[in-house]
Amino acid sequence: SLGSYMIVQSSNHDPGEKARLQLPVMKENDTHCIDFNYLLYSEDGLSPGTLNVFVRVNKGPLANPIWNVTGSTGRDWLRAELAVSTFWPNEYQGFVHFLLSGDITLGN
């Protein structure tokens, strides 16, 4: 099937730099699915970095990630499926956060 992807290349960035993908606000009183394919790879064999998923409540600070992966996952795509429950009257928004050392790729 056809889809889209996003790649974050670290070749022109310093280690520790961050990139963030902001997801739309989630409706309240529901369970939402955040699902995506991912690949973390570095040709030099070092860790390409960390991929985190956060959920922010009421435009507050990002707390601990609800999911993360660190280190090379090889050259094969892996899948993440996350369920996020939301409750009234709070506003929930998801973020995919990249801490860069190598290349990180997301796809649907």
Residue pLDDT tens, the chain, 108 long: 567 777 776 666 666 777 788 888 888 888 988 888 888 877 777 777 788 888 888 888 877 888 888 888 888 888 999 998 888 888 888 877 666 555 555 666
The pTM for the full model equals 0.79
Our measurement of the distance from residue 55's CA atom to the centroid of its chain's CA atoms, rounded to an integer in Å, reads 11
Contact 101, 42 (CB under 8 A): yes
Domain made up of 24-100: CATH architecture: Sandwich (2.60)
Every domain of the chain and the residues it spans: 24-100
